[in-house]
Structure 1
């Protein structure tokens, strides 16, 4: 067999060279492979960006775009809390849980449009407004994993109140925490951490939602250079009508190294006390009515130059980092919400009798409950995987955090919808509280990066990394003797895929023996995923950015692969530690991997199959017809000639 394989390899290697598959004639410019919300900003600055070779990534999701499986950040499952940290967490957790369960009524708070003052003051007194602020700034000093645990509790109680807390600390003053200098931290964090003052994050504008590069808000340096003058407005700002401190993103004139003036986004710390800052009325919303949402207006606001956050022109990077660093918290809230829904659904099913039996004995109800549990388990596993890696010092988590937000928000919607279905008419009524949860949940698929944009962010960022890898291979082919090892390795991978012998990166050594078959499904999915990415790059080159039908299927495949790997890791840890729930978790992971791998296969086939590609073309034509007609374009069944 080895001789036959050698012959096959040499033959295939010659074919690869002749077709330039090993030596791809392609250029994937970095600006064209950026997430959509970054494209305009990067294009405007492309002459100033020095192209450098991308380093090897520790991100699992980034690595699978090249058909690899870098498992450094997924095995073993993170276990980052010390005994002291667990004790600290429990000291905060218990009173918080008691407050949510005994003092806060979500339905009453919704009718009032806010939580009562006593509840808010107690949260401030417990340190809930400064959970991740270091103690030297009067914060609680918790890490990401501890924060996620408490975010679960707020999601399990009232998502409107969770938004108030999250908008304040997860994004509101997070820029100061991450990028502020010592003077800025000393001045602002103590008041913000204790809740003496409230913060908000001002990015969205009428013309700039997910496309942050379209900001119109502008700040101009005064003639004497002492302050900036800010003008413009922001819309749909959580805490916008309450905030004392605003993290504001605005365009500023910047002189480049070539002497040319350009406008770049800069971040500012703005106080309402500066004057010229006003807020509109609280928006009338579908859900999260307990939280404040308002327009914010800036009219000739004088901002001292010392209130520039980070560097001039670096605001876009700050905004993206703030959003990336906070997305795991949303997954935590969604996990808590799902726990609440599952508790309501199981309690109802255990007590509701129909046709002489409890509905918990009905197979239809059992499948619903089981799938709700799978969705919650995956979300929780993703959340604490991301938080744990952040606590271990990882800086490559943006794709995983985006996936946790996308999956968690959609999983929570599914779980809530199924809860209402199980409860029937009772679920539709206000007093059960589930219809409020559904209304509250809908926004989570939209804000802090819509799920549609985040899918493209995952796909395009991963493709950029894969494209860089292929360009390195292209360079290596210019000096094949010196780079024979790299060329041989890449060619061998393609040969094994071509003859059907590639089984993908082995994960057996990392998982519990009874989960080895499930791990093999992940390996196969990773290999097929990398091959599909390579195929699309060869076929579309830089035009891949316009193939959103295909990019969405790549993103969905990446989400499914991540759901498999994080649950495999978590269940393995449970088996190794002999947790009472270990077998239950193993049962869940087997179903998760079987079904997710099937979806991955279907999505990847859709990217290459001529029949499936024709379906996508027809979908495009169908949508074009509707756009032309501004609505449904087929004839009504009762219409005649």
Structure 2
């Protein structure tokens, strides 16, 4: 039921790190805007991603405004029939404290989940699934995330990554054979991470060699930290395979994806891992000893393993934001119930300004996260292919926001929140993994920044190439030259956004538009200043990523609040307040981050921090003696 799900702890990190490495190398090529300006370059293709285009200082509004409303009447009715029994099941049948204590989900609960159809939400109905859209899926995921993240991991590891590759890349025969099985009691798993391969994707050692008769691939190797690893009967396994390069005639190793059944023989697993959180989800090592995989079980083509894996992750990442918005909603509810009942110094503590600020910030973080989840699911349901940066942002933002909200809920409740009986200490332990798996947030921030910079750099290079044949490119040259000239004399205006929002939010929209304009200028500045070496400036890239997050989240909440105001909904004014407050502070953070990457004092501070870190690593710990000198 969940993309909460997609665990695997670090298995996805390999993938995302591989993409970063690719991004680093391709950026190093494409961002040579000065050095290689005389070489012809391919004109960058149009991208409808809002985030991608802000790197050019432009507003691409089609995927953000208006806020998506994608469910038709039949889909809405279907969803309503599923929400009630799902909510009831998690409130009455599932026991998250017991699951955590026993470090497993009991058989009765698992059977109930299978009976609900929770393990096959997006599998087509004609092969046994519920056939839900992404938006319908997000709503059910939200319910699970508000109750038990450990169960969510079990569900998500099964469908969001375990057999998702079959849904996305399987041929008709593979779908017909395996999708009915994963809907009827056979667990699935996604198997990538290995003992020797963390961030270095090229170090995967599991291998699959074609048998002499050409009928099987022989698989050997081991995977670690596999969610559902001790349960899965059907696995998506990634392994190195020899691939002939038709251009060079040489054979080199590339990763391929395979559908592997435990029944093939030679597949075993270790005992469940002991973990900090999500304890009821099964996490285990899986071993492959001369496993014979039929050639027809190659998934997505020989050598296309990373493409398969990246699409699996991008396709379901929005579900994490949906699930964690459910978690945040539960935390806020519990904190508010306590704050409105607890009396100190003769007053209910919810009347104190410090508590009010905590509750307001928790609520705004939930609003932003929930808004992104349904924005992205709505984009996907309308057929968009340009959402991978937005999905990455939603993962990072949701995982950090949920941690903050749960921590603040504990703080509001004080000692009561710290006690095991409140349940919040379990939620906090469960939440910690979300900033690590599916690409660490650190990696994803670099991914967002570098991908956007590469896109902007390609367009800047296009302009430079246009000067080599100015007669044929006068329109482009004049447009860009005019833009820079009026900006230089202070007459430039930021891209317009006020027409996209409700009139009550026009001022906030103008602030976001100014941020986008400043952001585009900053990107151009770092491209010119650092060229290909920007890939090494992670202090700068991280701050550009933070600015990106703030701009995108502001646009999303302005879109949703505008929709509420236009519909005159009961919560419209409340949503307006949250959108205004969020946008105001986000705008200030954007300005601060952009100033930091352009100011010598800040750049000097980055250099000092780099030296401090090297000193500590060289000393293998704290460098200085304590004050008593021994």
Give the structure-2-normalised TM-score: 0.94
Structure 2 residue matching 1:421: 3-state secondary structure: helix
Structure 2 residue matching 1:231: 3-state secondary structure: strand
Q: Which residue of 2 aligns with 1:476?
A: 466
Q: Which residue of 1 aligns with 2:355?
A: 365
Q: Which structure has the higher relative contact order (CA within 8 Å, separation 6+)?
A: 2
Partners of 1:199 and 1:51 in 2: CA distance: 44
- Kindly indicate whether residue 340 of structure 2 is the aligned counterpart of residue 347 of structure 1: no
Report the alpha carbon displacement of residue 209 of structure 1 after superposing the two structures with TM. 3.0
Structure 2 residue matching 1:447: 3-state secondary structure: coil
Q: Which residue of 1 aligns with 2:312?
A: 322
Q: Which residue of 2 aligns with 1:488?
A: 478
Partners of 1:501 and 1:385 in 2: CA distance: 34
Q: How does 1:163-562 map to 2 (within 5 A)?
A: 163-194=153-184, 196-257=185-246, 258-562=248-552
- Distance verdict in 2 for CA 1:40–1:214, change over 3 Å: farther
Partners of 1:44 and 1:216 in 2: CA distance: 23
Partners of 1:66 and 1:96 in 2: CA distance: 44
Partners of 1:391 and 1:78 in 2: CA distance: 9
Partners of 2:200 and 2:541 in 1: CA distance: 18
- Kindly indicate whether residue 621 of structure 2 is the aligned counterpart of residue 631 of structure 1: yes
Partners of 1:148 and 1:399 in 2: CA distance: 18
Long gaps (5+) in structure 1? 1-33
- Kindly indicate whether residue 112 of structure 2 is the aligned counterpart of residue 113 of structure 1: no
Asked whether the 8 Å contact 2:264–2:292 carries over to 1, the reply is: yes
Asked whether the 8 Å contact 1:159–1:288 carries over to 2, the reply is: yes
Q: Which residue of 2 aligns with 1:27?
A: none
Report the alpha carbon displacement of residue 45 of structure 1 after superposing the two structures with TM. 11
Q: Which residue of 2 aligns with 1:37?
A: 18
Long gaps (5+) in structure 2? 1-14, 31-39
Structure 2 residue matching 1:70: 3-state secondary structure: coil
- Kindly indicate whether residue 45 of structure 2 is the aligned counterpart of residue 55 of structure 1: yes
Partners of 1:283 and 1:249 in 2: CA distance: 21
Tell which deviates more after alignment, 283-292 or 216-225: 216-225
Partners of 1:135 and 1:424 in 2: CA distance: 48
Residue by residue, what CA displacement relative to the aligned partner does 1:114-157 show, whole Å, maximum 9, x if unpaired? 22212211211121110011101110000000000000011000
Give the RMSD, CA atoms, in angstroms. Answer: 1.7
Partners of 1:317 and 1:346 in 2: CA distance: 45
Partners of 2:516 and 2:597 in 1: CA distance: 15
- Distance verdict in 2 for CA 1:112–1:633, change over 3 Å: same
Partners of 1:393 and 1:96 in 2: CA distance: 28
Q: Which residue, 598, 608, 612 being the options, matches 1:622?
A: 612
Residue by residue, what CA displacement relative to the aligned partner does 1:202-250 show, whole Å, maximum 9, x if unpaired? 1112233344333221111111111111111111111111101110111
Partners of 1:157 and 1:39 in 2: CA distance: 34
Partners of 1:36 and 1:531 in 2: CA distance: 28
Partners of 1:302 and 1:43 in 2: CA distance: 37
Asked whether the 8 Å contact 1:35–1:460 carries over to 2, the reply is: no
**Structure 1 residue runs of 4 or more that deviate by more than 4 Å after TM superposition:** 39-46, 49-52
Asked whether the 8 Å contact 2:20–2:446 carries over to 1, the reply is: no
Q: Which residue of 2 aligns with 1:610?
A: 600
- Kindly indicate whether residue 539 of structure 2 is the aligned counterpart of residue 574 of structure 1: no
Structure 2 residue matching 1:351: 3-state secondary structure: coil
